[in-house]
Chains A and B, each alone.
Chain A
């Protein structure tokens, strides 16, 4: 019995604790990301944002959460019940399981699998199902239109995101996220990756359905998009999933381009600060970019969105993959 506990029980207990810590941290981050969003948007529009609940409005997310929980869950009578309830759960679960492979510090990762980046990509490409299922199961025109918009947008931008990831992999020579961060990249490779960082940042905006690509939930045209029929807890799950996805995509950008937990610009003196602090700070930077973009750009038109994805990003990233691969071979800088 003791042996069974030592072989399975103890590791399982540690793993459950680790999972609990990750999920707790992500949920807390999501709650305060909504607060940060309102504060940042307020500051950019010269207002104060939430100020009433708690000091500086700091308890606002908790109040919002309690409000959502205490509301009534409405399931439309024409809806396909099972799929309708399953959709938000799926979106939320997918947004959380992806965190299993994100290395927050050296060796501080739940599952250090050797195809980590593919796992992330696979999980984020499955996110589209939660949305299609929600739109279809609601049995409502607006929800269906929103789901159609969202899924075609996500599928389109995934193509260029995949090519961006391929370019980074060419420079690092591994699919493991820890090795991607630790890979030794010369300065000129960093410069060549910079255009891909821009493409990736725009693509994650589209992938997360965020402004200026938030057509799936364009209030003025299709009211609330795919989640128009959802209320209370089911709506809260969509909301949490969406923000958790944004934080996940920020972390992914940090892993691929900004060197993860390593101190910025390779300054050794800054290594006294623990690695996870750098990881969190860099993630905050990209998360701020999401809010900044929302406050700055007007919403795209649908054909403009598709044009950007298929006619500009796809050819550009394709050519850039070849350029980067060619220069890596020419300068003999291909990783082992």
Chain B
């Protein structure tokens, strides 16, 4: 009973926050509601028994990605009311994408419901005896280590590519070079002279 109450609480809050993300007038409020939606989604994961995924969702999305969103929204002076002018023309596309996702979910769940043996066709069935942290670790780092490493490499290439494309070297910028500063020795830069009184150097 408790878990049902918790489920409805989290689910309602997720839907409410998601609606507020697209309807809030202030973009910063939108991002804050997005964070609330992430957080409630993490609560739903906990209810599913996937506590590792829930914590990672909070650490990665709430703790890092959404902070960047918030930074960008706060720093850029975006007029969202102007952006929203033509937003209605994208509604059909959104409905199509949402409809496809919903149809896929319905296929999967109805398939499982009608033919429970379909569950056995999964490539990596979950080992019910271990904790989900260990189960995920086995799948990602033991069974599919190469695929996992390749996806990591692709992300690395994308990251380096983004840096190379956007980085520009500005001439004439003076930077502090700590190694150079530490390497300075008095004999290189100081010249001690005896100055006799009454004469210049």
Contact present for A126 and B28 (CB under 8 Å): no
Contact present for A115 and B55 (CB under 8 Å): yes
Given A114-B131, A126-B58, residue A151 in contact with residue B52 (CB < 8 A): no
A232 at interface by CB-CB < 8 Å: no
In chain B between 99 and 153, which residues have their CB closer than 8 angstroms to a CB of chain A? 131, 133
B29 partner residues in chain A, CB cutoff 8 A: 83
Give A113's nearest chain B residue, CB to CB.
Answer: B51
State in angstroms the CA–CA spacing of A245 and B143 once bound together.
40
Give B28's nearest chain A residue, CB to CB.
Answer: A136
Closest chain-B Cβ to A164's Cβ sits at a distance in Å of: 14
State in angstroms the CA–CA spacing of A133 and B64 once bound together.
15
State in angstroms the CA–CA spacing of A83 and B51 once bound together.
29
Total contacting residues, chain B, CB less than 8 A: 23
State in angstroms the CA–CA spacing of A206 and B95 once bound together.
46
Looking at chain B's contact residues, is the secondary structure mostly helix, strand, loop, or mixed? helix
Interface centre among B55, B71, B176 (most CB of A within 10 A): B55
B70 at interface by CB-CB < 8 Å: yes
Contact present for B63 and A128 (CB under 8 Å): yes
Contact present for B176 and A303 (CB under 8 Å): yes
B11 at interface by CB-CB < 8 Å: no
Closest chain-A Cβ to B91's Cβ sits at a distance in Å of: 29
Give A129's nearest chain B residue, CB to CB.
Answer: B35
A155 at interface by CB-CB < 8 Å: yes
In the complex, which of the residues A115, A155, A303 contacts B67, with contact meaning CB atoms closer than 8 Å? A155
Contact present for A132 and B64 (CB under 8 Å): no
Total contacting residues, chain A, CB less than 8 A: 26
Contact present for B64 and A155 (CB under 8 Å): yes
State in angstroms the CA–CA spacing of A148 and B59 once bound together.
19
Residue-wise interface mask of A (111-141) relative to B, using a CB-CB cutoff of 8 A (1 in contact, 0 not): 0011100110110011011001100100000
Looking at chain A's contact residues, is the secondary structure mostly helix, strand, loop, or mixed? helix
Closest chain-B Cβ to A119's Cβ sits at a distance in Å of: 6
A227 at interface by CB-CB < 8 Å: no
Contact present for A125 and B64 (CB under 8 Å): yes
Residue-wise interface mask of B (61-98) relative to A, using a CB-CB cutoff of 8 A (1 in contact, 0 not): 01110010011001000000000000000000000000
Contact present for A83 and B32 (CB under 8 Å): yes
Residue-wise interface mask of B (5-36) relative to A, using a CB-CB cutoff of 8 A (1 in contact, 0 not): 00000000000000000000010110010010
Given A83-B32, A132-B70, residue A115 in contact with residue B133 (CB < 8 A): yes
Closest chain-A Cβ to B33's Cβ sits at a distance in Å of: 11
A158 at interface by CB-CB < 8 Å: yes
Contact present for B58 and A125 (CB under 8 Å): yes
Contact present for B55 and A126 (CB under 8 Å): no
Closest chain-B Cβ to A278's Cβ sits at a distance in Å of: 28
B62 partner residues in chain A, CB cutoff 8 A: 122, 125-126, 129
B28 partner residues in chain A, CB cutoff 8 A: 80, 83, 136
Closest chain-A Cβ to B12's Cβ sits at a distance in Å of: 20
A8 partner residues in chain B, CB cutoff 8 A: 2
State in angstroms the CA–CA spacing of A314 and B35 once bound together.
27
Interface residues in chain A, defined as those with a beta carbon under 8 Å from any beta carbon in chain B:
8, 80, 83, 113-115, 118-119, 121-122, 125-126, 128-129, 132-133, 136, 144, 148, 151, 155, 158, 162, 175, 303, 307
Q: List 16 A-B contacts (CB under 8 A).
A: A80-B28, A113-B51, A114-B131, A115-B55, A115-B133, A118-B59, A121-B59, A122-B62, A125-B64, A126-B63, A129-B62, A132-B67, A132-B74, A162-B59, A175-B133, A307-B178
Add 14 more A-B contacts to A114-B51, A175-B133 (CB < 8 A): A80-B26, A80-B28, A114-B131, A115-B51, A121-B59, A122-B58, A126-B58, A126-B63, A129-B67, A136-B74, A144-B74, A151-B71, A158-B64, A307-B178
